[in-house]
Amino acid sequence: MTATFSGVRVLILGGTCELALTLSEHLIRASLLPILTYRNEKGLASIRKYLEPLEGKYDVCHLNFGDRDSLDSLFRHIDGDLDFMVDLAQGNYESFIAAADEERVCRYFTENVSFRAEVLKRAGRVMLKKRRGRLIFISSSAAERPNCGQGFYAAAKLASEALYRNMGLELGERGVTTAILRPGYIDAGRGKNYLNKQGRDVRDMVPIKRAISKKEIAETILFLLSDSAAGINATDILMDGGLTSGK
């Protein structure tokens, strides 16, 4: 099957993570233009280093979640031309709820839920003018089955899922649709670090006896952006090897 796409420009939130960089390679091969966001100069350097062989085939823009000035700058940079958005951004705060720092909790939800709603609003309004757009949120199986210490992470993921689901309900008839992908254990980034710390026993909990690869995730996202997946709207898709399907 040859994939076709109704658009070219793909905004990637959280563009410095391993999955975003792998996805960018796949997007470029499909003749799409990834626009990767970064929080700081270190993140920008990691993007440029990883995608050095593909210089000129991608774009970058600064976005610091929680900073409205950077949000304004991002959408000035986009200048009304946006076809897709893939949301991989997520702050990192793990703590037992009873031991959590109140100020950090407040800041965490402001950045990862409230600010995300602002980004969604801005992206949705750009797409509405074109009467076409696709928004993909990368959630986590932890939204349904968190480990101890992941309460705030799971809550932020669930709240963000609700935002994306409602965007698809509200704007679907006007050409803007959404989908939510819930990966399980991924052999990349934080997931890889967690698996290395826990050992093989964690993978044994997964019916397919392995983690999901970043290549598999990237290819699935590419499919969700394609015209073949246009009927998938306002819903979540599990990609966890069967982890959450049984006891």
Q: Is 194 known to be catalytic?
A: no
Name the active-site residue from 58, 93, 108, 153: 153
pLDDT at 179: 98
Mean pLDDT of 18-43: 98
Q: Is this model's pTM higher than 0.85 or not?
A: yes
What's the pLDDT tens digit per position in 138-178? 999 999 999 899 999 999 999 999 999 999 999 999 999 99
Residue 24 amino acid letter:
S
Domain spans of the chain, in order of start: 9-242
The token pair at 110 is 């402001």
Please name the residues in contact with 165: beta carbons below 8 A apart, sequence gap of 6 or more. 178, 180, 234, 235, 236
Is CATH 3.40.50.720 correct for 9-242?
yes
Q: Residue 38: pLDDT above 70? A: yes
pLDDT value at position 105?
98
